[in-house]
Amino acid sequence: MNIAQNKNILIFLLASIGLIVFPHIANIPISFFIFFYFLLGWRFISIWKPTWLPNKLLVFLLTALGIALYYSEFQGIFGRDAGTRLFITALGLKLMEIKTGRDLYLITYLAFIVAASQFLYEQSLLMGAYILFVSCVLLATLVTINSSKPEALVALKTAGLIIVQSLPMAVILFVFVPRLEAPKWALFNEPRQTKMGLPDSMEPGSISDLGMSDELVFRVKFKGALPPPRQRYWRGPVLSYTDGKKWSQVSNMRFGRYLDKLVLKGQPYQYTLLMEPQNRPWVFALDMPAEFSQTLRRNAHYQLITQENPNIRAEYSLTSYTDYNTGYLTRTELKDTTQLPSPPSSKIDQLVKQLHGFDSPQEQFIQQLLNHFRKEDFHYTLTPPLMEENPIETFLFETRRGFCSHYAAAFVYLMRAAHIPARVVTGYQGGELNQTGDFLEIRQADAHAWAEVWLEHKGWVRFDPTAAIAPERIERGIDTDQLVPGGAISYAPTSAAAQEALNWLKQTRQLWSTIDYKWQRWVINYDNKNQASFLSSLGIADIKTMVYWMVGTIAAITALLSWILLYQKQKTIDPIMRTYNRFCKKLAKRGLIRGNSEGAKDFAARANQTLPEHASTINHITALFIKLRYGKNARPEDLALFNRRVGKFKI
């Protein structure tokens, strides 16, 4: 019978193909999706109604329709989207024309390519597991094609077994096969859905509701101890220029080369930072980054900028010092960081005067200002009132409600009013410690703005006015678990039971994010750099040792598998026969080979003639064998005795 018409095989193949294409629903235009599933459904029904299959003309028309569809959404011949669509359309059309076993194979191979294309869109652990399962079903289809009686369950079991046996070798190949850096062909640069990162300017007065998401921005794993929470400032863009409402970066960064030498003190923190894809080349290092890889550069604002595509998840090895001195102030910096759109109003002047801004040392004034925030009726809220006109004054003297940006902006403004160089620094603060994985997760909700003031002999020094008003924001961070559903910040637990449930939820989430972190770090991001560092940790430095290792482990796995697959057979024969065969083998050494049709008794008689000195043993063993194999009342002790006698039998 033609295997291409076997119902079981077809059902299996079509079902697995339906599974493979399904996750593409989010990635291809819906018209392709419908076209494909229409063809699949048609083919499925045709299993029972073969006359419904399209004839040649209809297949031709369908192909034309497919091509038309492809051109209507034309996106070039190469590239991810175009390729995926092409393969899916081809797969759908090929389904209508299954004539021989060869077609079944072609379809299966196409399906593998479509399965792989899934990874170009999503690389999560769940997707990996799903594609693994689907590959198993596809292999099972091949098993059914090569079986006498296609049975779904048996085929799945066989395919699953083959996959399980292949996995160790695949992992070894994954670890050892050198990763080459592919040339960055513009052709394949796909626009990605990047998450909204930190903006490059801030306008606190125009925001009345700080939208906060728990979207992951980056993860940090420290080599040694973690810095204390109040030191966890992740430096982003520095905003020096203001028009009174909006704060933004200065474009002129050429003063970088005139900067004083950075003096680093205290304990270095070594860590790896795994940035999620984003649309700006900012790398949020712990303040102050000192050592970083070649692909990064530190700009004049001490912010790390990557030269690679930030759209791709990347990992960086960094070293930071929380204790540092930036030295003298350049002229450009002085100009930039004392800039004000217009002379401060009299109200502001009066406030500065009241806080002794003009007649006391700078640090004293800063303390006075922070005390002012603390003692006066200032509040920290994520939903402040709008301040369209004169946002600084409105905030300082009227509303007195705001979040970090409001405080940082007002603080810097007052510093500049007192002729002290100051600037706003944005970035992230804090991060949640994942207990299971021992790494920090920094989410979008951890976005923060603080101030930097230049002090004589100390350089740029960080001051966080938000810490003065809401120290728990700095010490504990925002509890995103509670933030997301309610929308408001809450620092206090509601009830014990609720807390316990939340803790449990939190633990589960932490466990999952640990697994996800490891997946991202060790699987998705296993590039040539990570590979080199991992292999050198195993003591593999050059390519030759690597090849030895790879070949060696693969040979070991092959040997083990061969043993499992091929050697087990001896164990499985009838135990009586096995022992008797052993007995025969021993006699065969003396040239006594039992003929095919020679009975045990005849053989024993012949053996006795050649080996009269062993006659009694041979007879006993033969008698036991006959009793065990053909006798009615053989007991388990007989088998044990039989085994023993054969074991001791020596000639």
Partner 1 sequence: MNIPSLKKRLQLSRFFSGEKTIVTPITLNQRRVFILPTHRGLNFALLTALLLLIAFVYNNNLIYLLAFLLSSVFFITILHTYRSLAGLVLQEGQAKAVFAGEAAGFDIHINNPLTIDRQYLHIVLEEGQYLSVKALSNVTVTLYSATQKRGWHTAGTVTLSSTYPLGLFRAWSPIRFNLKTLVYPKPSALELPFPEVPSEQAQQGFSLKEGDEFHGLKSYEPGDPIKHIYWKAFAKGQGLFSKQFGGENSAQIWLDYNYAPGHDTEERLSQMCRWVIDAERLGLAFGFSLPGLKLPPDSGLLHTRKCLEALALF
In the complex, the residues that contact partner 1 under the rule CB under 8 A are 80, 101-102, 105, 109, 112-113, 115-117, 119-120, 123, 127-128, 131-132, 135, 139, 142-143, 145-149, 158-159, 162-163, 165-167, 169-171, 173-174, 177, 179-182, 185, 188, 312, 523-527, 558, 561-562, 565-566, 569, 572-573, 596
33 vs 526 by CB, closer to partner 1: 526
**Residue 443: strand pairing partners:** 216
241: CB partners within 8 A, 6+ apart? 247, 248, 249, 250, 336, 339
117 vs 429 by CB, closer to partner 1: 117
Distance in Å, CB of 586 to partner 1, minimum: 18
Is the separation of the CB atoms in 248 and 203 below 8 Å? no
| Burial (CB count <10 Å: 0-12, 13-18, 19+), residue 80 | middle
- DSSP states of 277-295: PBSS-EE-EESSEEE--TT
Rg (CA), the chain: 37
Distance in Å, CB of 97 to partner 1, minimum: 18
Question: What CA–CA distance (Å, rounded) separates 571 from 209?
Answer: 73
Distance in Å, CB of 534 to partner 1, minimum: 13
25 vs 573 by CB, closer to partner 1: 573
178 vs 361 by CB, closer to partner 1: 178
Backbone angles phi, psi at 82, to 5 degrees: -60, -45
Question: What CA–CA distance (Å, rounded) separates 38 from 262?
Answer: 66
For residue 631, the number of C-alpha atoms closer than 13 Å in the C-beta half-sphere is 14
Burial 522-532 (b: 16+ CB within 10 A, else e): eebbbeebbbe
Q: What is the DSSP letter of 565?
A: I
Distance in Å, CB of 452 to partner 1, minimum: 38
Distance in Å, CB of 277 to partner 1, minimum: 13
Question: What CA–CA distance (Å, rounded) separates 389 from 26?
Answer: 44
Question: What CA–CA distance (Å, rounded) separates 258 from 121?
Answer: 45
**Residue 316: strand pairing partners:** 273
491 vs 563 by CB, closer to partner 1: 563
Question: What CA–CA distance (Å, rounded) separates 327 from 325?
Answer: 6
Distance in Å, CB of 275 to partner 1, minimum: 16
Pairing, β 439-443 against β 432-434: antiparallel
Element (H, E) at 427: strand 422-429
Distance in Å, CB of 533 to partner 1, minimum: 16
Distance in Å, CB of 471 to partner 1, minimum: 43
167 vs 196 by CB, closer to partner 1: 167
Distance in Å, CB of 159 to partner 1, minimum: 8
28 vs 478 by CB, closer to partner 1: 28
166 vs 536 by CB, closer to partner 1: 166
Distance in Å, CB of 522 to partner 1, minimum: 9
392 vs 535 by CB, closer to partner 1: 535
Count of CB atoms situated within 10 Å of the CB of 93: 18
For residue 576, the number of C-alpha atoms closer than 13 Å in the C-beta half-sphere is 17
Distance in Å, CB of 74 to partner 1, minimum: 21
Q: Which amino acid is at 425?
A: V
Selection from 112, 45, 118 nearest residue 81 by Cα: 118
Distance in Å, CB of 422 to partner 1, minimum: 43
Is the separation of the CB atoms in 30 and 61 below 8 Å? no
Distance in Å, CB of 253 to partner 1, minimum: 31
Q: Cα torsion at 602, 604, 605, 610 (round to 10°)?
A: 130
261 vs 569 by CB, closer to partner 1: 569
Pairing, β 296-298 against β 304-306: antiparallel
133 vs 255 by CB, closer to partner 1: 133
Is the separation of the CB atoms in 289 and 375 below 8 Å? no
565 vs 640 by CB, closer to partner 1: 565
Distance in Å, CB of 148 to partner 1, minimum: 4
Is the separation of the CB atoms in 446 and 430 below 8 Å? yes
Question: What CA–CA distance (Å, rounded) separates 283 from 275?
Answer: 7
501 vs 555 by CB, closer to partner 1: 555
Question: What CA–CA distance (Å, rounded) separates 579 from 584?
Answer: 9
484 vs 555 by CB, closer to partner 1: 555
